[in-house]
Structure formats: C-alpha cells, structure tokens
C-alpha cells in the first residue's frame, strides 16, 4: 500500500520539476543555449577575418607591378606577409588599449645601462644577446628584477602600455607578447584618440615599399615603389632593422655627414624618421649640389644606405605629407 502511494507522489514531483524548468525557458522568451552553436561562435571569433586589399593609388609615379623582373629573376610585393601584418594590426585595435613608443634617439634620454649579457658587435659597439645595440637603445627589465636590464629595445618601437609605477612603466612587446619594465624617461605615450589607419611596408628582401590606408573594412594601396634599404658594412652603414615602428619626426632636409668626419656630406630630402637614424627619404644630394634629384637607377636593386630607406624624391615627399607623426606605422620585414 505504501509503495502504491509513494510512486504516484514521486511521479508528481518529477513532473512538477520538469514542467517548472520548461515554463521558465518559455516564459523568458529565450531558447536554451546551444553548446555547439556557442563553440562555433567562439571559433569564428578567433579566426582572423579576411583582409581585403584594393589598389587606389594616390601616388602613381615609378609604380611597380605585383611581380616584376629583376636581372635574371623576378621580385614581388609579398602581399601574404602584408596581409598577416594588417590582420595583426586590426586585431590589436579591437579592444581599447594604450600604446607607447620607445625613444632614445642619439641617447637623448640617457645612455642605457649595461645588460646582463653583452658583447661587441662588428661595429665595435656594445650589443645585447639579440644584437640590439646599447647606443640609442632602451633598457628592458624583467618584471621580477629591475636592477639590471635583460635586453635593449629599439628606438621607435611600438609597445602596449600596461601600468605605471613610480619610476617604471610596464609594457608588452608587440613582437613576443612578453612583458617588460622600462624607465619612464624612455617612453612616450600615444594619445588614446589615435587609431593606426596608415601603414608603410618596407621589404628588405625585394627592395620595395608599399603604403596602405584603411578605409572601412578594406585596405587601399596608396603607392607601390622601388626602395633601397640599409647595408651591413661596418663601421658606418647598417641594415634597416626589422620590426614595427612609428613615424617619429620629419625633416624637409636631413643633413648627413661624410663618414668618420664632422664635415657635411649633403642632405636627404623629405625625411621621415622611424628608428634610430633610420629615415624614409628621397635620393641623397651630395654637397655642394643643392637641387633635388628625382630618381636613381640604384633604387630597388641592392641594399646600400646607412640604415635609411631611399625612395624617389617625389615618393618620399608623398610619404612625408601623407604619414602623420605618431600615427603611421612602419613595418620592416624580409
């Protein structure tokens, strides 16, 4: 008898429990979450969206094709690598962030302390274990040890600003994602109103340069030109270092010296500096000449500058006018 009574009561309780849950879902006007749909949405959100590049040139002189002949081979614009960097650029700006630039041009903010492990490079200068030189370098300290720097950062490099302390700022490297502590005097914070919508791509392998500008969901190619980058030739000429930099300053005429002297060697027109003494500029004009030179047959051939990126002078002027200081990024890659 007791079993006959308990069973209907149990069924009634179970039915009531199930009915209550169903009523809640219906009365809320929402369907129960679909775990498969959620997982799919998460996957889609992590997959970079397709980068759309279209050509809409603002500068159309000395323009190169996507692929073009060079001696007994061909050269190209490496659009896949450019797309990868544009995808990264879009991804880092999806969420609000504070950005900063490392600065120590000509050691104006003070010579960086010695790192733990250093050596003399082929230029007889002190460099860290990765080859970044102390001169014009920025000391990078571990977050757990601010007594001796671990490495040097490059002048002009873009970093993500995380947190300020009394004498240091914690940042994240845009290359490795590693966190560093840096003395405040070596950092300039970028206003949070700035969005990076203009990018310059310097290809040291193919010796070319492209400028792109974001327009809605597309990136528009503004120019495609030959360029000449830095040559490893101690003790004066250096390679154009790979990395992500900000345009930091501009000079209508960048005066240069004769190697190893204080004598003026000439000037480079329409110079936009992005790292150390590295500028994007026009064809150099050796003293005593004072008039511009538009083009040089050496452009787009082999590295031969002192770290700078040489361009046709009219293209250097285009970049000079088009790329705002602290807003335009320079990507150097091979």
3-state secondary structure 206-259: CCEEEEEEEECCEEEEEEEEECECECCECCCECCCCCEEEECCEEEEEEEEECC
CATH of 98-110+119-189, one of 2.30.30, 2.60.40, 3.30.420, 3.40.50: 2.30.30
> Which range (26-30, 96-100, 175-179, 282-286) has the least confidence?
26-30
- The pLDDT tens digits of the residues spanning 232-265 come to 999 999 999 999 999 999 999 999 999 999 999 9
Q: Where in the chain is the domain with CATH 2.30.30?
A: 98-110+119-189
d(CA 300, CA 285): 18
Q: Where in the chain is the domain with CATH 2.40.440.10?
A: 52-89+196-333
- As its CATH architecture, domain 52-89+196-333 has Beta Barrel (2.40)
d(CA 12, CA 149): 72
Question: Measuring CA to CA, how many Å separate 316 from each of 79, 186, 281?
Answer: 22, 28, 5
Q: What is the pLDDT of residue 27?
A: 35
Query: Phi, psi at residue 52, to the nearest 5°?
Result: -100, 120
pLDDT band at 58 (very low <50, low <70, confident <90, very high): very high
d(CA 160, CA 190): 10
Instruction: Report the chain's mean pLDDT, rounded to a whole number.
Output: 88
Q: What is the pLDDT of residue 176?
A: 83
pLDDT at 36 over 60: no
The residues pairing with 328 across neighbouring beta strands, listed in sequence order, are 198
pLDDT band at 33 (very low <50, low <70, confident <90, very high): very low
d(CA 32, CA 307): 60
Q: How much is the average pLDDT of 197-217? A: 98
Q: Which two tokens stand for residue 158?
A: 């873009």
CA angle, 305 as apex, 303 and 306 as ends, to 5°? Answer: 130
Q: What is the pLDDT of residue 174?
A: 87
Question: Measuring CA to CA, how many Å separate 247 from each of 27, 193, 326?
Answer: 58, 17, 6
pLDDT at 195 over 60: yes
- The pLDDT tens digits of the residues spanning 126-144 come to 999 999 999 999 999 999 9
Higher pLDDT residue, 54 or 46?
A: 54
pLDDT at 7 over 70: no
């Amino acid at each position: 008898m007791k079993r006959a009574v308990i069973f209907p009561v149990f069924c009634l309780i179970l039915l009531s429990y199930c009915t209550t849950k169903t009523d809640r879902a219906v009365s809320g006007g929402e369907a129960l979450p679909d775990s498969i749909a959620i997982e799919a949405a998460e996957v889609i959100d992590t997959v970079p969206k397709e980068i759309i590049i279209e050509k809409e040139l603002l500068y159309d002189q000395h323009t190169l094709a996507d692929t073009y002949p060079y001696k007994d081979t061909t050269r190209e614009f490496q659009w896949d690598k450019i797309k990868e960097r544009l995808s990264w650029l879009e991804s880092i700006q999806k969420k609000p962030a504070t950005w900063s630039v490392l600065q120590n041009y000509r050691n104006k903010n003070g010579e960086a302390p010695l790192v733990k492990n250093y050596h003399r490079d082929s230029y007889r200068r002190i460099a860290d274990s990765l080859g970044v030189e102390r001169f014009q370098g920025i000391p990078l300290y571990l977050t757990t040890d601010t007594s001796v720097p671990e490495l040097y950062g490059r002048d002009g490099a873009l970093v993500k600003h995380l947190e300020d302390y009394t004498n240091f700022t914690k940042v994240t490297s845009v290359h490795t994602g590693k966190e560093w502590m840096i003395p405040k005097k070596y950092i300039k914070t970028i206003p949070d109103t700035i969005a990076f919508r203009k990018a310059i791509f310097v290809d040291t392998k193919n010796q070319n340069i492209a400028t792109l500008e974001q327009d809605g969901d597309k990136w528009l190619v503004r120019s495609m030109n030959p360029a000449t980058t830095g040559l490893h030739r101690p003790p004066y000429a250096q390679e154009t270092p790979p990395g992500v930099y900000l345009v930091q300053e501009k000079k209508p005429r960048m005066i240069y010296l004769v190697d190893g002297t204080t004598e003026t060697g000439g000037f480079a027109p329409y110079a936009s500096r992005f790292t150390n003494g590295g500028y994007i500029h026009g064809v150099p004009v050796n003293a005593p000449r004072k008039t511009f030179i538009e083009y040089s047959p050496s452009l787009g051939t082999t590295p031969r500058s002192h770290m700078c990126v040489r361009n046709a002078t009219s293209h250097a002027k285009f970049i000079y006018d088009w790329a705002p200081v602290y807003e335009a990024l320079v990507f150097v890659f091979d």
